[in-house]
Structure 1
Amino acid sequence: MITYIMIAFFVFLLAYSVAAAPAPASTSITLRVAHQARGILTFAFDPSQDASKSLQLLSTTNAGRKPGWIHPRGDMLYSVSRTNFPDNSSKSGGVFAWGETALSQVQSPLNLMSSTSSNGLGGVYCDISKDGRTLAAANIDGSTVSIYPLKSGVIGDPTFVFKYTIEKPGPGKDESQTQAYPHAASFDPSGKFLFVPDRGADMVYVYQVDGPESVKHIHNITVAAGTGPRHVTFSKVSISRTFMYLVGEIDNTVTVFALDGVDNSACKSGENGELRITHIQTASTLGPGANRTAFVNEDLASEVAVTNDGRFLYVSNRNTKSYDSDTLAVYAVHPSASASASSSSTNTTTGSGQQHLEFLALNPTHGKIPRHFSLSPDAENRFVAVGNQVSNDVTVLARNPKTGLVEGVVGNYTLGEFDETTELGPMAVVWA
């Protein structure tokens, strides 16, 4: 994929590598990593320890060939694998439901409740509806999204398998846009709408979901050619309005949409009106004043996340030409900048000129190729866990809840050798 000067990185990684410890501390937080070569790794993170000792490996779970994503929900964990499910005779990925182990057994592997085919090569993402009845899984290389019913931890037979195609390749370099590449399948906070970003088609497919037996394609969001839609995240601002943030992998942008007509009430089965989608702003992930990048794959944005209080947004940047640390782009969020937007508006500012996203900084991830990161589940999101795919490690960074800035390494664990192939390292990291 890329060429790196590896010696400098080995020195850095060795400085932070730690050994697994026998038991988690009472103050620890559980962290899980989908690692292509090793399976699902369960860690305890103890913020009271220094960076060299704060992450303790507790258990390893065999989760199919190249685990590609993990999603916690209640006392369950769901995952997808890239290929060879159930064995080497198949190219399809797998979808797995795992039962959490009791605290006294946290060092044991996860308990497999059920598993089934993902119905496509390249299992890369899974998500579950708000009511817990519907699971969606995306297969990037197979160009499919599969829908499954869930009941008591059991994944049922697929009720839908959506197959995507494109009329002609996009402008992305090499094979990045030669076919449909659905990179995620994410439910909005209401649980009634499913969004599928397709990197190859420069499109986001929108479905209305009324349970696993009723999934209806209702809309397409078309973005600029060469955007490369990858992932979305959401921030509720009222009962009827949500902001959606879309990261463009190829042109290194984050695009803001307002979703109106949703039902974000606490009840599990609210009635949604007509969904209205409004473009608010598109901003570079590489700094203030930067434009959309050329489609040359030098920089590739990967993940996007917003804080619980909705005040800050983060996007991970991957530079494929340098061995220097990659970065997290940090933005302040100003919801009022788009509070009056209408369904036909494409304005990005208010009368005062304030934008919805205000760029603050590029903070280092202290690793190479941060494919995925996640904010800790505490109210203030005090920590950021990063899975660095090529440096093949996990870093935990401290976050300042007041400024939004990421201020330094508080945990690091080396998972294996430096991996230029990107075939061995971490794919996803989530807090339990």
Structure 2
Amino acid sequence: MDMATNGASNAPHTLYVALQSTGIVEISFDPSKEPEKSISIVGVSTDAGYMPGWVVVSRDKVYSISRTSSPGSEDESGGVFAFQIPDGASGDRGLTRIDSKSSNGKGGVHCEVSPDGKTFAAANITASTVSIFQLSEDGSMGQPTHIFDYNKSDPGPKEAHPHQATFDPTGRFLFVPLRTMDRVEIYSVRSARQDQRVHSIDLPVPAGPRHLAFNSISPLKAYMYLVSEKDNTIRVYSVTYDDTSASGITMNLKQTLSTIEKDMAPTPDEHKDLASEVAVSKDGKFVYVSNRNLTRAEPDTMVIYSINSDQANNDETHLTFIKAQEVPGKHPRNFALSNDKDNKWVAVSNQFTQDIVIIERDLTTGLLGDVKGRVNLKVEEPHQPSPDKVVFSDVPSKMTREDFLKNRANGPMCVVWK
């Protein structure tokens, strides 16, 4: 494989992991070292509520959400937390919590900061609520400006179970996949006091919409890739922005592809596979989707799709299934592309094997290459297999591995590159 390199992508990276049992774990990845020595645990913040399940980086802040707001499951509401990343100049190490609020519902599962860094959204899967907060200049959160309560707006035998609350590339719209109701709600969030639903996407039953990602083409057009975990599909929607229309946004379904095999039909409910995460490379050439196999005997996979940039094809062949590749570890609940300009690295968060695996990405073919690092976050008797979200970041703190081992109790839930 032709693995292109550059200074930025080969420089050391910092990642944050949401570890359900413990808190927000910081790890360092140095691609210049041998794979068995490239990853080290350097920090952990235990001040992130009970069972943190998602973490994001926005500028010099880290934000997270937990299933309940304190270290104990007796609380009814989840918690959202803001942390300051040290700049290194003062010699301070580790994340410093600067704010916390109720997420206004039990089961905090996802959070995100808008592209302009001014708005924060939190999804609570158990309570079926989504909360919107405005962020201050110092990164702290005010009181929620709006709470979408699906138990009130959509009463009935089914709970909504929102699994994500994510902003579109413009930051003007918030998308919420309702996993149990097989629907995606779209809200206008142009101002703090004018959040309103402008569009809904109804899906076949049972689809189980879980996560989505965007590919911005121009100020007036984007594509949305929606992954559903029950029918194991990725649906491609064209997104057109038009300020003259009532909603300001138009969505059109263009493609539905399998996340398991090429040309495979949508799977029935209770299938052995569950699609989990989706990401788009910065160059707009590839889409990635991870799959979790519930039999535990067969390997899990990551599917790579190529993006057809030819707009003359009417979007009907926008995505092409390239390959389903095996990934090391078991139950890849989440993965993240590194935030260098090439997205050279893929960090995979495995829930059952409770480890983080970093794989090199072929920039030409989009395929996954060699494993460049692996860190084990496993405990002897975990009561919650818990690696979830991982993100990349590059402002390091410092903590010894021995300190981490004293505090950990479960595996990671999510990972982010900084």
Corresponding residue for 2:353? 391
Corresponding residue for 2:221? 241
Question: 1:309 aligned to 2:283?
Answer: yes
**In structure 1, what residue type is equivalent to 2:82?**
A
For 2:232 and 2:379, how far apart are their aligned partners in 1?
28
Contact 2:85 2:94 in 1 (8 A): no
Contact 1:40 1:60 in 2 (8 A): yes
**In structure 2, what residue type is equivalent to 1:100?**
I
TM-score, scaled to structure 2: 0.86
Q: 1:120 to 1:273 in 2, by over 3 A?
A: closer
For 2:321 and 2:74, how far apart are their aligned partners in 1?
48
Corresponding residue for 1:54? 38
Consecutive unaligned residues in structure 2, runs of 5 or more: 1-9, 387-409
After TM superposition, give the deviation of residue 83 of structure 1 in Å.
Answer: 1.2
After TM superposition, give the deviation of residue 87 of structure 1 in Å.
Answer: 6.0
Q: 1:278 to 1:29 in 2, by over 3 A?
A: same
Question: 1:32 aligned to 2:6?
Answer: no
Contact 1:300 1:319 in 2 (8 A): yes
For 2:287 and 2:73, how far apart are their aligned partners in 1?
40
In the TM superposition, 1:289-368 aligns within 5 A as 289-336=263-310, 341=314, 349=316, 355-368=317-330
Question: 1:422 aligned to 2:385?
Answer: yes
Contact 2:198 2:247 in 1 (8 A): no
For 1:162 and 1:389, how far apart are their aligned partners in 2?
29
After TM superposition, give the deviation of residue 85 of structure 1 in Å.
Answer: 3.6
Corresponding residue for 1:4? none
Corresponding residue for 2:253? 279
In the TM superposition, 1:192-231 aligns within 5 A as 192-231=172-211
After TM superposition, give the deviation of residue 377 of structure 1 in Å.
Answer: 0.6
TM-score, scaled to structure 1: 0.83
**Which one scores higher on RCO, CA 8 angstroms, separation ≥ 6?**
2
For 2:185 and 2:194, how far apart are their aligned partners in 1?
16
Q: 1:53 to 1:181 in 2, by over 3 A?
A: same
Q: 1:374 to 1:105 in 2, by over 3 A?
A: farther
Query: Match for 1:190 among 153, 158, 170?
Result: 170
Task: Encode CA deviations 1:180-230: one digit per residue, 9 max, x unaligned.
Answer: 110000000100000000101100000011132221111111111111001
Contact 1:58 1:106 in 2 (8 A): no
For 1:319 and 1:278, how far apart are their aligned partners in 2?
30
Deviates more, 1:52-61 or 1:160-169: 160-169
Q: 1:360 to 1:118 in 2, by over 3 A?
A: same
Question: 1:120 aligned to 2:83?
Answer: no
| Number of residue pairs aligned between Structure 1 and Structure 2 | 380
For 2:313 and 2:121, how far apart are their aligned partners in 1?
33
For 1:223 and 1:130, how far apart are their aligned partners in 2?
27
Q: 1:45 to 1:106 in 2, by over 3 A?
A: farther
Deviates more, 1:299-308 or 1:288-297: 288-297
Secondary structure at the residue paired with 2:310? helix
Contact 1:36 1:68 in 2 (8 A): yes
In the TM superposition, 1:9-20 aligns within 5 A as none
Q: 1:246 to 1:132 in 2, by over 3 A?
A: same
After TM superposition, give the deviation of residue 94 of structure 1 in Å.
Answer: 0.5
Consecutive unaligned residues in structure 1, runs of 5 or more: 1-25, 170-177, 264-270, 342-347, 350-354
Secondary structure at the residue paired with 2:66? strand
Secondary structure at the residue paired with 2:116? coil
**In structure 1, what residue type is equivalent to 2:412?**
P
For 1:314 and 1:398, how far apart are their aligned partners in 2?
14
For 1:273 and 1:91, how far apart are their aligned partners in 2?
35
Question: 1:145 aligned to 2:91?
Answer: no
Q: 1:273 to 1:229 in 2, by over 3 A?
A: closer
For 2:91 and 2:109, how far apart are their aligned partners in 1?
26
In the TM superposition, 1:84-163 aligns within 5 A as 84-85=69-70, 89-103=74-88, 108-151=93-136, 152-163=138-149
For 1:421 and 1:251, how far apart are their aligned partners in 2?
26
For 1:181 and 1:80, how far apart are their aligned partners in 2?
16
Task: Encode CA deviations 1:151-184: one digit per residue, 9 max, x unaligned.
Answer: 0211111111111145666xxxxxxxx4211000
Deviates more, 1:183-192 or 1:100-109: 100-109
Contact 1:139 1:145 in 2 (8 A): yes
Secondary structure at the residue paired with 1:52? helix
